[in-house]
Amino acid sequence: MAERKLTLTDSESGKTLDLPVVSGTEGDPTIDISRLHPELGLFTFDPGYGATASCKSDITYIDGGEGILRYRGYPIEQLAEKSSFLEVAYLLLYGELPKDTEFARFERDITYHTMVHERINSFMDGFHYDAHPMAILSGVVASMAGFYHDKLDVNDPEQRDLAAKRLIAKMPTIAAAAYRHSMGWPNAYPSNSLNYSERFLHMMFSVPAENYEVNPVAAKALDLLFILHADHEQNASTSTVRLVGSTGANPYACTAAGIAALWGPAHGGANEAVLNMLNQIGDVSRVGEFVKKAKDKNDPFRLMGFGHRVYKNFDPRATIIRKACHEVLDELGIKDPLLDLAMELEKIALEDDYFVQRKLYPNVDFYSGIIYKALGIPTSMFTAMFAIGRTVGWVSQWLEQSATPHRIGRPRQVYTGAAERDYVSIDQR
Ligand code: SDX
């Protein structure tokens, strides 16, 4: 079959150019514009990169219209039901589900990298007690380059793999330490006898004064949330990790940049913003007032946890989390009026023309906070929870980019500033 192409004609120069159309395994075809500037002297303009593919990737596929999310070809619904976070981590990192011996070795590697250098704990002491956990996470992760400087050769596959495992293993340890710092509690060290999610809950909530038993319902719910947050193709924080990685920066600097990007309320910070919004609404009787604010162009208020750049249908993760909300709260015997409020808010919004026309549906952040709250995790830690799961996606995408030939990322611009002009001395101005 003849190669598909797009033929452009420049009305000014009369020149025409055939641009190849590139298709992947699935998804919308893309136009390879690499010859556009050399041949026609033209750049493309796509603020927010809404229609621009920044890379080729084998890791995650999303179909926004159909509400599809697959990790290495496996539907998120199947992984959520049948897999575990650490098995999903292996899948995202290496492309295949592990055999039992492969998984055992991977789990042992992660387990034995969960501790952080003791100096990192004293570094953490420098933060004010009420520092936001994401400020601590980004600062401490960036500092890790200072502790592992002997293994930072990004051109060495073994050192890349070690850094990836260190980041996956230590993120929960650092996040839990940030929480304990805010509580004024002594540090809790990782327990190798527990699995990934159990170990995190133990590090978060155990206190020296008494024995702490991990609730299996809570650990299972957390493992599910980590799976659902693990990767999401070229979102803002992952694109940040790739851009920083394209300069050859070390993986800790790349991941710290990803954490910073995730913190924004338009991105991973939305889960914290949703809980704050639900508490602000307070009662079902006020839902209409806030939906009205969300529709008012003169009001900066947005319905947090609603809308998505790619999903113009239900975010499949939101569907899974909404179902899990009911199951977890029932199993824990918790009645949370905020869940009823969220359900009512969703119902009213999805019947409102403004949201229907703009295809604004609940996204991954809309319900996740309800479960975190039920597990006793404070709102300020919600985005740090997102970061723990997404670390797997960040390092998987960083490994993929690092292992393939790539150029430094360097977008162009449309310059709209002053034309050339001469300097005027201050006495002439
Ligand atoms: C995540 O990219 C990813 O994959 C991200 C993520 C991941 O896993 O990595 O899925 C995680 O970040 C989920 C999104 C979490 N953010 C929020 O919930 C914050 C609230 N949502 C929005 O700010 C917004 O929907 C975005 C940022 C998510 C998407 O923004 P877009 O794609 O730039 O959409 P837009 O701002 O151009 O909005 C289109 C229209 C606008 O109205 P009009 O100008 O057409 O009249 O929809 C409106 C917007 O005003 N709109 C909203 C809205 N979201 C969009 N109006 C009210 N409330 C909202 N939440």
Beta bridge partners of 30: 22
Query: Taking CB atoms and a 6 Å cutoff, what residues make up the pocket around ligand 1?
Result: 48, 232, 235, 266-268, 270, 294, 302-310, 358, 360, 363-365
Residue 151: its pLDDT value, please?
84
Average pLDDT over every residue of 5-25? 96
Instruction: Tell whether the model's pLDDT for residue 1 goes beyond 80.
Output: no
Residue 259: both structure tokens together: 């954490």
pLDDT digits (tens, 9 = 90+) for 257-307: 999 999 999 999 999 999 999 999 999 999 999 999 999 999 999 999 999
pLDDT digits (tens, 9 = 90+) for 91-103: 999 999 999 999 9
pLDDT digits (tens, 9 = 90+) for 16-32: 999 999 999 999 999 99
Round the average pLDDT of the chain to a whole number and report it: 96
Instruction: Tell whether the model's pLDDT for residue 193 goes beyond 90.
Output: yes
pLDDT digits (tens, 9 = 90+) for 243-256: 999 999 999 999 99
For ligand 1, mutation pick of 242, 309, 397 (most atoms within 8 Å of CB): 309
Exposed, middle or buried by CB within 10 Å (0-12, 13-18, 19+), for 39? middle
Residue 121: its pLDDT value, please?
86
Active site residue 132: no
Instruction: Tell whether the model's pLDDT for residue 149 goes beyond 90.
Output: no
Average pLDDT over every residue of 220-234? 98
Helix or strand (DSSP H, E) at 8: strand 5-9
Instruction: Tell whether the model's pLDDT for residue 146 goes beyond 90.
Output: yes
Active site residue 336: no
Alpha carbons 321 and 306: distance in angstroms, whole number: 14
Active site residue 308: yes
Q: Are 36 and 42 in contact (CB under 8 A)?
A: yes
Cα of 135 to ligand 1 centre, how many Å?
24
Share above pLDDT 70 across residues of the chain, in percent, rounded to a whole number: 100
